[in-house]
Each structure stands twice: as C-alpha cells, then as structure tokens.
Amino acid sequence: MSTFGTQILGLLDSPEYHPSKTSQVAKQLGITKSQVAEFKEALEELIADGLVRKQENGILRRKAAKGLIAGIVRRAAAGFGFLTPTDAPNDRSRDIYISKEDLKDAQSGDEVMIQLMPSDRRDGKPRGRVMEILQRETHTFVGTYFEEAGGGFVRVDGTVFTDPISVGDPGAKGAKPQDKVVIEMLRFPSHSQVGEAVLTQVLGQRGQPGVDTLSIIHEFGLPDEFPEEVLAEARLQASLFDENNLEGRLDLTGETIITIDPVDARDFDDAISLQRSSDGHWHLGVHIADVSHFVPVGSALDREAQQRSTSVYLPDRVLPMLPEILSNGLASLQQGHVRFTKSAFIEFSADGIPIHTKFANSAIRVVQRFAYEQVMPIIEKPELHRDEVSPAVNDLLQRMYEFAMLLRKRRFKRGALELSLPEVKIDFDDDGKVSGAHTAPHDASHEIIEEFMLAANIAVATALNDQKFPFMRRAHGDPDELKLRKFADFASTLGLTLTSFQSRHAIQALLDEVEGQPIEQAVSYALLRSMKQAEYTIEEIGHYALAEEQYCHFTSPIRRYPDLTIHRLVGAIAAHKKGKLPKPDVVALSTLAKHCSAMERRAASAERELVKVKLLTYMSTRIGEELDTIITGVQDFGFFCQGTKIPAEGMVHVTSLSDDYYYFDEASQSLIGRRSGVEYRLGSPVKVVVARVDVDRRQLDFRMVGTGVMPPVEPKPEAPRRKPTWKGKPTKDNKQFPEQKFGKQRNSQPKAKKKSKSKKKKR
C-alpha cells in the first residue's frame, strides 16, 4: 500500500473524521497540486480493494467494521422495516428484518449500518439493529399544516410518518390551516421520541390547482428553476449557432428524413432515413440531436445536466434536463429547420442482419414531422393520403414499416421479451383540472420507432465495445432463478403453464397467451417484480429483456445525461479523434452511472406518484359512483382492482364484504366465501362503488355494489398534546437532536388518542 493510501485510511479511521468528499479529504491531508494525481490513484486502489466506500454523493467512508452490514432501509407503515444490503440492491431474498424498536429513527431510503442479532422470526429471516445512520435520503417533506393546542403541526403526505410533526409556533411563514407546506426535519420521530421540524415554505391551499404538482416536486427534491449562470450559457450557445456553417459536418439537409413522435411531444431528438439498395440490403440512418455541440464538457450547462441526469415528465409540466432554449429549440429536430445531429448509419442484409456501422457528425433538415396517430392510416391506405405526404415520404413510410417488422420478428426470435404495461395519461379541462384519465395507445407506429432506436443503441454499444473504450452501458442483469421459479408458480395458480421458467421464449409465449385477457396486467407486473431493475453501469452485464450482450442509450441526449456521454464518444470516433479523448476515470464514470440510475428512479417515482395524486383527486369527486373494474391483486385483507374506463386502482377491504366470511386461497389467488363459495379471483371483473378517498395518504377504497358496509376508516392521527422535555442541546448543524427522555408530568394534558387498530393495509 502506498504512503497516500495509508494516510487516507488513517484519516478515515480517526474518531475526528467527519464524512467528506475527495477534495475535502485531500485538503485535510495537505495534498499539493503536484500530488493530486498520485493521491487519486491511491484512493482508487482503496475503493477497488473494498477498503473505502464512495457513496453516490461523493462522500468517502471506511468499509463497514467486521460484523456490521451497510444497506438501505425500507420502512413499513406499522413501524418495522427491512434492510437491503448495499452489495445486493436487487435481491429482496437477502433482506434483513428490523423491529420498530431496533430501527430507531431511520426512515425509508436512509443508508444505515446494522448489527445482526439472533433471529426469532418464524420465516427464518435474519434480524438486525440499526447502529449508525450513514446518510439520510432526505430531510425535506411535504404535508398539510394544521394547528392544535397552541402549536403548529404537519401531517406528512403518504404513510411515511404515523403521527404529525411539530413545527413550533402557529402561523410560521404565514401558514394557514389546510395549506400544503414544505418542512425540514430537525429531529426524526421514532418509537421513543416525537418528530420536530421547521416549516420552510408554503405551497398553497390544499386542493388548489397546481399545488399537488408543487408538492410532488418538493417531496422528491426535483430541480425546477435553472440557475442564471446556466441560462446565460444556454443563451450564449444559441447566439453562436449558425445553421449555414456546416464545416466538419456531413450535409444531409437534402435527404428525405422524418420524425415520428407523440402528438404532445415537447422535444424531438430522433429522426429517420432509410434506403434499400439494389442488392436488397437495408441502409438505416438514425439521426439524433447533437446536444454535445451545445454542452461543452465541464461547463455550467454540463454540470447542471449531470446533476439532474434526466428530464422529468409530470402530467401537467416538464422539468427539463436542459434549458428550453436548447431542449425545445436549437437541439430539437423541428420540421423545416437545419439542425446539427449525430448520425449512425447501419447497413443490414436483406434478412435484417447488421453488417456494418459508421458514424458522422452531420446536419439535417426534417422534411415532415408525424404524430404516431397519423402514421398507420397512411401506411395502410396510402392512396387516401396523397395530398398529405409527398411520394418520397410515402415510400419512406412504407419501407420503414416493412423493415421495422422484419427487425421486430428477428428480435423476438432471439429471445427478447415485451411486457404489456400501459402508460396512464391524465386528461385536463380548460381550467387545468383533472377531467379523467386513459391509457396511452401503443400500435405499430410506436413499434417502428422502437425498433430503429433499439437498432441504433445496439450498434453504438457494439462499436464502442469493439473500440475497448470504457462507456456507460444500459444493463439489465439476468433474473434470480428462485424469483423466476416463484413467477412460474404464480402463473400456475392462474391456470397457466410456463414450460420452462429459464427460457425467455417460454416466458414470451406465456405473455402472448394472456395478451388481451383480464389477467394480462397482473401477469406482466408479476414478471416485472421477478426481474432486476435496468441500470447504468460500466460493467459488461448485457441486457436480459432485450437478449443483447451490448447495449447503451444513444438516442435521447436532450433528456438523458448517459446519452450525452455516449454522444461525445461517438463524435470523437466520427471525427477520427478518439485518441485525443482524455483517459476516462473509471471510478468517476462508475459513480456517475450510479447517480444517473438513482436520478432516473427518482424521476419515475415522482411521475407515478403525481399520476396517482391526480387520479385520487379526480376520484374524490365521484364518491358513491359505480365503476366497472378488474381485480389486479388479491391478499388476505382484501383485493385490489382497477377501473376499465378510469385506470384508478383501489382496494376492497375484506371487512366490507358483509355477505359472507371470506378466506384467502393463495393457490388460486382468490378470496372465497366459506358459506356461499363466491370467489373474488385475480383477473375477474367486478362492479364496485367509490367508497372513500384519502388523497394525502394516497389511498382509494372501494366496496362491492350491493354491500352496505363501508371499509373501516382509519382516524387521522392527532397531534401529541404533551410537550417533550429533553436533556442536552441541538447539535451545531441544528439538524439532529439527542435522544429524548420523557418524565411523568403531574399536570400534563391528556395524552393523544391511541391509533385505531384497523388492519387495513396498502399494497
């Protein structure tokens, strides 16, 4: 071990060490400019050897002490939780149970260190105790403000916290009862202490248009406004753009190139050209907006884009990765405008086998923009649309359809999988209020673009892999065999047969069998839960669902930072300047890949949560109405069902089924009446009544038509009436308080009411 390595370990092991980033550690060790390279090399060796851990936020920590396990907490509403070890983020079978008492004040998403304890669980799952909280996922929460007993309190949205959080004197920041507010947690609640926070921002009255969107933005810590420095740089890049200066670019402005996007698309980053030569070979051109031209490495634009990592597409607004002057302007492939692109030209045999790939820094002018809904009518009946498209564009569309279906057939023959998971779209009226919802259609026009984007991503990844240059891959690891076996068992309970759970062809055959049936969505979700999450990584893992060894994201640099990193490599190869690229910092690239994966998951969670909130708000205006639904999940406490016209999912609690006593039969995935034999089975259609909606807790309850019993209503938690007393003072950063010691108070006010013992659960 080098001298610097010894010094780094010595600092990280010292009691005085406060977790810091690389630059701060170097400063504490007195590293000079001439020593930086050697210092970083020593640090990389320590990380590679597992002696030092570098967290996603760049913080350096010593490897866990012997007997301790690091991981991420997942806390249940009942107070207990589970730890997913850091070295097995996608394997729930290795989760460690943590009781409410042993969880202390750790919350879902926190990174903690636990100590294993003797297990007393029937399922044999190991048990642990939180020893140290390494990193909080967040200190910021959103909730509804109210006042009681002379104090201000906030009920945090969702089911993260059971009890309200005290925010001190009433009226802070001008907050009024029923306002949605943002709080910064000072002391996290636990089984032995109440929570305390400071109110930092008032978002507006609960239920007012737009307040729900602001709530989700703050709840997930999504970046909204761009710093002025970033906007100024974007404006500068716009002023420098000259569409007539095509020096160093392949001029494709005279070619027949089109785009196909959603009708409500905000940015257009991919365009297509396609020719067929006399030998029958296909020549596909995939032209992607050259965002890298406008975002120099290390610039303010680049740093901001890297931090955001992705655009976030909420139902009523977009939080772009790049300022709109670029994302919706100069880097958007608008019809009739000259735009700079990175082009991948892929030659295929007549049978669709890729033969050769080349890249170019190019310039295009899109001749026509299509919405998905316009494409298939033209392809199916071109004679009816002669006035809408030119003969050249019509011929291009016909070729695109023929070739895309050829690629699609070959892809599934190789063992690719396709899950049917419809996307929910919210409908708004002219006042911006939710007027309904629908599932987005997905037809052959979508498949055309999908096939060409997949082909380009595969070709680029293959070329970069052949160049042996480290790059950010899009990986989807092979699923755990035990999980696939459980999926096969689940399928058998539905009367389905999976001939070989290890075969992608057999799995796809099962998906084809249930296509269009009521159980299709349940089967798709069950399979999805059996698989690992896709992620960005520099490791050569492959992509299981696509049945591809080499895959990366190249086609959306406007909205995904990993694509931007790929563009820089492709541009260097196209300009024959690969040798001039700086040697990549493998550790830094790996850390960036983890960051991009985390930001992608955050964005997806925020998008799903706001769709749920919007749907629940809409359903709250339809209490008592009847809905036709399909049962999507069955548990011992009730069943979940989703509307066929309005895709809102709610629960029918078993206690609301007053006509009989129902028991859960796991083998058939159904609730069965002991006396009547009535079955509520996965995939069965049922007519329900909207019984109760709790938007803040994100819960929707149904009851069966004809039953008079309402689901048990869980009372809203009351504010704690006694004021805690504690010993000691807040820490210097004013974030954490010491453990509280509550003494008996002779003249204390009545205690808060105990929580209802309702067994209602949420899936």
Domain co-membership, 456 together with 510: no
Residue 396 has pLDDT above 90, yes or no: yes
Q: Do 233 and 99 fall within a single domain?
A: no
Give pLDDT, residue 124: 72
pLDDT band at 65 (very low <50, low <70, confident <90, very high): low
For 373, the 3-state DSSP assignment is helix
pLDDT at 707: 61
- Domain presence at residue 162: no
Same domain, 471 and 590: yes
- Supply the pLDDT for residue 538: 94
- Least confident piece of the model among 324-333, 343-352, 413-422, 464-473: 413-422
The residue-averaged pLDDT of 53-57 equals: 71
Residue 585 pLDDT class (50, 70, 90 cuts) = confident
- pLDDT-derived band of residue 468, with 50, 70 and 90 as boundaries? confident
Residue 316's alpha-carbon distances to 261, 465, 683, in angstroms, are 18, 40, 31
Both 126 and 260 in a single domain? no
Cα 35 to Cα 24, 42, 78, distances in angstroms? 15, 11, 52
Tokens of 169: 């004197």
Same domain, 89 and 234: no
Is 423 in a helix, a strand, or coil? coil
What is the model's pTM? Answer: 0.82
Q: pLDDT tens digits for 520-575? A: 888 988 898 889 999 999 999 999 999 999 999 999 999 999 999 999 999 999 98
CATH of the domain at 118: 2.40.50.140
> Lowest mean pLDDT: which of 259-263, 338-342, 651-655, 735-739?
735-739
Look up residue 358 and give its amino acid: K
Q: What is the CATH number of the domain that holds 58?
A: 1.10.10
Residues 372, 459: one domain? yes
Q: Which of 403, 383, 404, 405 is nearest to 394 (CA)?
A: 383
Given this model, what pLDDT does residue 89 score? 63
Is residue 144 one of the residues assigned to a domain?
Answer: no
Candidate from 214-228, 461-475, 576-590 with smallest mean pLDDT: 576-590
Domain shared by 331 and 440, yes or no: yes
454 has pLDDT over 80: yes
The model's pLDDT over 89-147, given as tens digits with 9 standing for 90+, comes to 666 668 899 998 899 889 888 888 888 888 777 777 789 999 888 888 889 999 999 99
Counting Cα atoms < 13 Å in the Cβ hemisphere of 208 gives 12
Summary mean pLDDT of the chain = 87
Domain that holds residue 56: 3-62
**Residue 745: pLDDT above 60?**
no
Output DSSP code: residue 367.
Answer: S
Identify whether residues 657 and 595 lie together within a single domain: no
For residue 52, being part of any structural domain is answered with yes
- The b-or-e profile of 19-42 (16+ CB within 10 A means b, else e) is ebebeebbebeebeeeeeeebbeb
Is pLDDT above 60 for 749? no
User: Which one has a higher pLDDT value, 421 or 746?
Assistant: 421
Residue 758, domain member (yes or no): no
Identify the domain boundary among 660, 675, 704: 704
pLDDT at 303 over 60: yes
Closest CA to 115 of 159, 81, 83: 83
What does the alpha-carbon distance between residue 696 and residue 617 come to, in Å, rounded to a whole number?
10
pLDDT band at residue 341 using 50, 70 and 90 as cut-offs: very high
358 compared with 587, residue with greater pLDDT: 358
Q: Is it the case that residue 760 has pLDDT exceeding 60?
A: no
Which of these ranges, 24-38, 169-183, 229-243, 336-350, has the smallest mean pLDDT? Answer: 24-38
Asked if residue 257 is part of any domain, the answer here is yes
What mean pLDDT comes out for the span 589-603? Answer: 93
The answer to whether residue 90 is domain-embedded is yes
Say whether both 638 and 577 belong to one domain: no
Number of domains the chain contains: 5
pLDDT beyond 50 at 608: yes
pLDDT at 654 over 90: yes
Mean per-residue pLDDT, 352-375: 96
Report which of 148, 151, 188, 180 is spatially closest to residue 168, judged by C-alpha positions: 151
What is the Rg, in whole angstroms, of the alpha carbon atoms belonging to the chain?
A: 28
Distance of CA 384 to the CA centre of its chain: 42
Q: 75 and 50, same structural domain?
A: no
For the cut 90, the answer to whether the pLDDT of residue 336 exceeds it is: yes
CA dist 519 → 215, 508, 510, 513, 683 (Å): 34, 15, 12, 10, 4
**What mean pLDDT do residues 425-431 have?**
87
Last residue of a domain, one of 675, 704, 733: 704
φ, ψ (nearest 5 deg) of residue 153: -135, 160
Residue 289 covered by a domain: yes
Q: Are residues 456 and 491 in the same domain?
A: no
Q: Which one has a higher pLDDT value, 125 or 182?
A: 182
**Confidence at residue 64, expressed as pLDDT on a 0 to 100 scale:** 65
DSSP state, residue 34: G
Residue partners of 417: CB distance under 8 A and separation at least 6: 504, 507, 508, 511, 544, 545, 546, 547
**C-alpha count within 13 angstroms, C-beta hemisphere, residue 426:** 24
Confidence of residue 616 (pLDDT cuts 50, 70, 90): very high
395 is a domain residue: yes
Question: Are 426 and 614 a contacting pair, CB within 8 Å?
Answer: yes
Range in 22-36, 52-66, 220-234, 322-336 with the lowest mean pLDDT: 52-66
pLDDT at 693: 96
306 with 432, same domain: the answer is: yes
- Residue that terminates a domain, selected from 654, 675, 704: 704
Determine the pLDDT at residue 432: 81
